[in-house]
């Protein structure tokens, strides 16, 4: 009986949703590759069952595997003013916010960002391309639950049960935007965390591939 309870608890902790596969074993960075880390950055570490970008960390931590269409679910929490990003359909080179796509991870309610952000820079936005609605982000230091669905050209982001972005990349036709963000036309690539020397933690990371 105790074994059964333990197994159920472990499954819940690592997101054993039906049809989903865990991307993180809770202990190591197996299955991930660190890129674009500067010499004075620590990269990412595993602490208390979470992938952590510490204050002296950063770089792009990408899955070894590539994904095209998928449902990605995870939990995250940030320090006040925290800043990171979820890279999707990303290559292993360049600034992924442009060569791939970045779903913004940002404590946009922090004082230092007031009056400085464009609509396409709020948390959950496809960075600099499609704007997300504010209002669903929990205060810094609390765990948030997020789901990102990438299905063809459609991108949907749900934060703490509220849809904050439901957009279609095919509607982006501005030549200047397309020139600046060629990555929005990519159909597959890596998933990852895009750190900026800011304390952000991720856990319960799991994915379901779509046809």
> Residue ranges per domain, the chain?
2-209
pLDDT for 12: 44
Indicate whether 16 pLDDT > 70.
no
Tens digit of pLDDT for each residue in 39-54?
A: 667 899 999 999 999 9
Name, in order, each residue with C-beta under 8 angstroms of 1's C-beta and a sequence gap of 6 or more.
none
Distance (Å, rounded) from C-alpha 9 to C-alpha 3? 10
CATH number of the structural domain 2-209: 2.60.120.560
CB 198 within 8 A of CB 82: yes
* H helix intervals, the chain: 2-13, 96-99, 175-180
Indicate whether 11 pLDDT > 60.
no
CB 123 within 8 A of CB 105: yes
Name, in order, each residue with C-beta under 8 angstroms of 140's C-beta and a sequence gap of 6 or more.
77, 78, 79, 80, 81, 82, 107, 110
Indicate whether 163 pLDDT > 70.
yes
- How many CA atoms lie within 13 Å of 77's alpha carbon, on the beta-carbon side? 9
Q: Which two tokens stand for residue 47?
A: 């602490």
pTM: 0.90
Ramachandran angles phi, psi of 111, nearest 5°: -55, -35
């Amino acid at each position: 009986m105790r074994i059964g309870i333990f197994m159920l608890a472990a499954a819940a902790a690592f997101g054993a949703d039906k049809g989903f596969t865990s991307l993180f074993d809770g202990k190591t960075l197996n299955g991930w590759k660190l890129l674009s880390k500067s010499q004075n950055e620590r990269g990412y570490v595993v602490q208390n069952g979470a992938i952590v970008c510490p204050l002296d960390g950063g770089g792009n931590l990408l899955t070894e595997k590539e994904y095209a269409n998928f449902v990605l679910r995870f939990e995250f929490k940030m320090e006040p003013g925290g800043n990171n990003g979820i890279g999707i359909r990303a290559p292993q080179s360049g600034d992924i916010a442009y060569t791939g796509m970045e779903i913004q991870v940002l404590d946009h309610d922090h004082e230092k960002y007031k009056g400085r952000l464009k609509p396409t820079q709020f948390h959950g936005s496809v960075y600099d391309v499609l704007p997300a609605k504010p209002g669903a982000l929990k205060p810094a230091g609390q765990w948030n639950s997020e789901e990102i669905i990438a299905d063809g050209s459609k991108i949907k982001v749900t934060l703490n049960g509220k849809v904050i972005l439901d957009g279609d990349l095919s509607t982006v036709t501005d030549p200047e935007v397309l020139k600046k963000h060629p990555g929005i036309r990519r159909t597959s690539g890596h998933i990852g965390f895009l750190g900026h020397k800011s304390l952000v933690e991720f856990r319960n990371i799991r994915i379901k591939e779509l046809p």
